[in-house]
Amino acid sequence: MPDPDVLTLDVAPSRSVCDCKNSGVARPVVMRRCMRKAAMAMCALGVAGGLLVWRESRADAILSRIHHGMLVCASGDAATATLVGPLTSGGAMSAILPGAVANAAIPTDLLTGHQYAPAMVRLDVFESASGLLTVGGGTQSLSSALSASRKGRKLVMLSLHGATPKHVAQAIRAADMRHHVILAATNDAEARTAMAADGGMMIALPVRSAREEQHARRLVGSHRFAAYLPASATPELFALAHHDAEAVIADGPTTPDDPAKLQALLDEPVDIIVTDQPVRFAETMTGEDAARQ
């Protein structure tokens, strides 16, 4: 007979985790939860990796580079030489850029062995009757020049000298340089066809007065626009272009060794300075000793 002072409860024994696992009930639930968490983690890693690759692929994009400071853009023979780095002879250029003229005129300042290299090059594009696109006076194909620019992490400004903008845009996309190129148009018709050829590439238009700047702004609409000003433009025009355009481009002074003229230009809101003497320009801007370090 049970003790009346002792209360007893008839409680069924609880299952241990071990019992549940052995019964085959808990294991599928746990496995499904783990698999879902693993899948979510893998998905998050994939998205993060994709964003990193996308960001790196556009690390040299024009607006990003401008945001970090003014760019020096090499033009003329200096642009061709910039694509292959410091040179010691015309033969070196010919060896690295097939089709280039071996004894092409290389600016003296590019023969000094300075390690300074402009971040951007300006190339004139020409189209033959057969549709071949070339730069450098016809010595190099546009596709080869774009490939060299991409390899050297250079931005590019392409001046359209009658070349069909649609064909130029196709070559740029094929080289995966769409976010690294500015198309410089010389007139309204060229600008319109360039914008129609590719809605994402930046268009540069010459601006010599406030009226021309306002006209260019209306012409491009919502398209990305760079105002290309002469070095002698007034401070008011520089300020207007800086307000309306995504980028302000200016030709460097014809005498880059003149610190006063250079400083006057640097005091303006300029994003890209175009010069055929980039090394001398850099030396004047930073001091020759600093450029040689």
Q: What was the pLDDT predicted at 2?
A: 52
The maximal CA–CA distance of the chain, rounded, in angstroms, is 120
Q: What is the pLDDT of residues 236-259, one digit of tens each?
A: 999 999 999 999 999 987 776 677
Q: Where does residue 86 rank: exposed (0-12), middle (13-18), buried (19+ CB within 10 A)?
A: middle
Q: What is the pLDDT of residues 81-117, one digit of tens each?
A: 777 654 333 333 333 333 333 333 333 444 344 446 7
- Choose between 260 and 96: higher pLDDT: 260
| pTM of structure | 0.69
Nearest alpha carbon to residue 176 among 13, 6, 60: 60
Q: Place 30 in a pLDDT band, splitting at 50, 70 and 90.
A: low
Q: What is the pLDDT of residues 161-174, one digit of tens each?
A: 889 999 999 999 99
Collect all residues with Cβ–Cβ distance below 8 Å to 183 and sequence separation of at least 6. 158, 160, 165, 168, 169, 194, 201, 202, 203, 204
CA distance 30 to 224: 54
The residue to which tokens 């995966």 are assigned: 176
